[in-house]
Amino acid sequence: TLTARLTKACPLNPRQKGFIQAAGCSENLQLLQSIIWSAKKEHRPLGVVFMNIAKAFDTVSHQHILHGLQKRGVDPHIISLVSNMYENIHTRIT
């Protein structure tokens, strides 16, 4: 599949939990709970930041993505498939 080929060419960081098939939300919540528990137990200060990156993908140009795939040595056929997904795309709200 396209996803498998892209994952092979561009491996994800193991901490990546968004936009993949994984139990990321529950795993992240358990990790956060563990960090908070440890800080309380050891009486250490702790700061937690939540970031909303919902619009992060709007800021990366399609050309930059395609260039990145080329630099990673992704098969030209796969790059062509990804490029075709970006052509003439529109959003319609009814």
72 with 27, same domain: the answer is: no
Same domain, 68 and 33: no
Domain encompassing residue 22: 1-51
Q: Which residues of 31-60 are buried (b: 16+ CB within 10 A; e: fewer)?
A: eeeeeeeeeeeeeeeeeeeeeeeeeeeeee
Structure token digits, residue 50: 């939540």
Mean pLDDT of 32-52: 89
Regarding whether 14 and 30 lie in a shared domain, the answer is: yes
Based on the fold, state whether residues 47 and 72 are members of the same structural domain.
no
How many CA atoms lie within 13 Å of 79's alpha carbon, on the beta-carbon side?
17
Tell whether 70 and 47 lie within a shared domain: no
pLDDT value for 6? 77
* Domain tally, the chain: 2
| Residue 58, pLDDT above cutoff 70 | no
Answer yes or no: do 40 and 78 share one domain: no
Residue 1 and residue 37 in one domain: yes
Q: Which residue has the higher pLDDT, 26 or 17?
A: 26
